[in-house]
Every structure is written in structure tokens, then in C-alpha cells.
């Protein structure tokens, strides 16, 4: 472990810059990594602005995604029914498919909401003294990065249902506008989590490492 004998030296403190993609160290003002061609961004403050921008875009798309219908089901018996994201979960509950209802609710409501809040809290925590340790916050960011893509499940469900259930007058399912809005929201929050540089969290933590 790094102790008082080995004070923590970051690449930045040494006047160097490390590549986020491949770990290669380059002189401080390099813009393109000589090994993998990735962008290095000597000024990390700009990265945070990008996080806020993608996050805002994600939230903006998420609101109408919940208001417009995700699925339009037309059956000969009941006519046309429209389902929003939450409506689809409620319908699954009526069919007593509790496990699947939980998966869909988790992927399309809990995960996006948790992501919005977590990324905003992490970004705000960089401004002032953070209550959570750097380890905890880094872990939180990794979890957000990992689970974000699973929100896309609902879009794929709509794609499969509306391509498969085309039985003429008996029953047919068509996608609604919410599918596109929701897919955009997921993509934007994924970009927000990806552009969040974990080194910003550790930058404040310059003391002897834990």
C-alpha cells in the first residue's frame, strides 16, 4: 500500500497525462494518445460540462417517453389499447407475471431514475467537500456505467412484440413514439456516464491513499 514512505503521485501531479483507454503516459500537453489514438483532454473541467449536457438531454427525453404510448395493441375483441411504460408494467402485474414486471420496472423506471440522481450527485460532489469517500463514489460511478445499458430492454421488447405480433385482424401490435424517446434517453445517459472521468473524483483525494 502507498504509505507515508510512498506519497501518492498522480500522472497529473508529475506533469504528465495518462490515457483513459490504454493507460499509456504522455507529456502533459499531448492531445492524442500516441499508442491508441484516444483523446487525452489536458483540461478535465470540460469533461464535466459534457456530463451535465448529456444528463440534461437524457432527462428531457425521459419525461415525454413516460407520457406517450410505448405500444399500441389492436385486437378484434377489445379494439385498440395504448400502453405507456408504466402501463406495461401494470398489465404484467395483472397477468401475475411479477418477476418479469419487476425486471421491466427496474430497467425502465428504477435504473434511469437512479442514474439521473447518482450522476448529478457525483458531479455536484466535486464542487464541495464530499460526504462519501472517493472509493464509494468511484464504485457508484462504475455501477452506473455498468447498469445503464440494461435499460434498453424495454425498447427491444417493443421491437420483438411489434415485429412478431402481426396476426391481421386477430391481434396486432405497433410501436409508439415513446420507444424512440426512451431509446434516446438511455443513449444520452450512457454517454453522460461514459464522459464522467473518474479521475475527477480522485483528484481531490491527494493525501496518502487509503
Partner 1 sequence: MSAPNTPATAQAALPPLETLVACPACDLLMSVPELTSETRCRCPRCHHLLYAPRKQIFAKVIALSLTVAILMVGAVFFPFLQISAGGISHASSIFDAALAFSDGLLLPLSVAVMALIVVLPMLRVTLLIYTLWPLSQGHRPWPQARRAMHFSEAIQPWSMAEIFVVGAVVALVKLAGLATVTLGPAFWAFGLLVVVVTVKDNLICDWTLWQALDTPR
Residues 38-77 that bind partner 1 (CB under 8 A): 38
Can you state the angle between helices 45-67 and 177-195, rounded to 10 degrees? 160
87 binds partner 1 (CB under 8 A): no
Binding partner 1 (rule: CB under 8 A), the pick from 65, 72, 97, 188 is: 97
Tell me how far, at minimum, the Cβ of 52 lies from partner 1, in Å.
20
Tell me how far, at minimum, the Cβ of 127 lies from partner 1, in Å.
19
133 binds partner 1 (CB under 8 A): no
Q: Closest by alpha carbon to 192, among 121, 89, 110?
A: 121
Restricting to residues 179-208, name those near partner 1 by CB under 8 A: 179-180, 183, 187, 190, 194, 198-199, 201-203
What single DSSP character describes residue 39? B
Binding partner 1 (rule: CB under 8 A), the pick from 52, 86, 121, 209 is: 209
28 binds partner 1 (CB under 8 A): no
Give Cα 94 distance to the centre of its chain. 30
108 in Cβ contact with 66 (< 8 Å): no
Instruction: Give 35 or 49: the residue with its C-beta nearer to partner 1.
Output: 35
Binding partner 1 (rule: CB under 8 A), the pick from 104, 111, 119, 122 is: 104
Residue keyed to cell 424517446: 181
For residue 56, give every residue at least 6 positions away whose Cβ sits within 8 Å of its Cβ, in sequence order, or none. Answer: none
* Number of other residues whose CB lies within 10 A of the CB of residue 8: 12
Residue keyed to cell 413514439: 177
The C-alpha cell at 35 is 499508442
Instruction: Give 38 or 64: the residue with its C-beta nearer to partner 1.
Output: 38
84 binds partner 1 (CB under 8 A): no
Instruction: Give 57 or 97: the residue with its C-beta nearer to partner 1.
Output: 97
Restricting to residues 143-162, name those near partner 1 by CB under 8 A: 145, 149-150, 152-162
Using CA atoms, how far apart are residues 210 and 200, in angstroms rounded to an integer? 17
Amino acid at each position: 500500500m502507498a504509505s507515508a514512505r510512498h506519497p501518492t503521485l498522480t500522472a497529473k501531479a508529475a506533469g504528465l497525462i495518462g490515457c483513459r483507454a490504454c493507460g499509456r503516459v504522455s507529456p502533459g500537453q499531448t492531445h492524442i494518445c500516441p499508442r491508441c489514438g484516444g483523446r487525452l483532454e489536458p483540461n478535465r473541467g470540460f469533461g464535466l460540462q459534457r456530463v451535465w449536457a448529456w444528463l440534461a438531454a437524457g432527462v428531457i427525453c425521459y419525461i415525454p417517453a413516460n407520457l406517450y404510448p410505448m405500444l399500441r395493441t389492436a385486437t378484434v375483441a377489445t379494439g385498440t389499447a395504448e400502453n405507456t411504460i408504466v402501463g406495461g408494467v401494470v398489465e404484467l402485474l395483472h397477468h401475475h407475471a411479477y418477476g418479469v414486471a419487476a425486471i421491466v420496472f427496474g430497467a425502465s423506471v428504477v435504473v434511469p431514475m437512479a442514474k439521473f440522481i447518482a450522476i448529478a450527485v457525483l458531479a455536484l460532489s466535486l464542487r464541495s467537500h464530499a460526504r462519501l469517500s472517493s472509493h464509494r463514489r468511484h464504485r457508484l460511478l462504475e455501477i452506473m456505467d455498468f447498469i445503464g445499458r440494461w435499460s434498453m430492454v424495454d425498447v427491444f421488447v417493443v421491437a420483438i412484440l411489434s415485429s412478431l405480433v402481426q396476426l391481421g385482424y386477430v391481434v396486432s401490435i405497433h410501436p409508439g413514439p415513446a420507444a424512440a424517446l426512451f431509446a434516446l434517453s438511455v443513449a444520452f445517459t450512457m454517454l453522460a456516464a461514459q464522459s464522467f472521468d473518474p479521475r475527477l473524483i480522485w483528484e481531490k483525494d491527494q493525501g496518502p491513499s487509503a
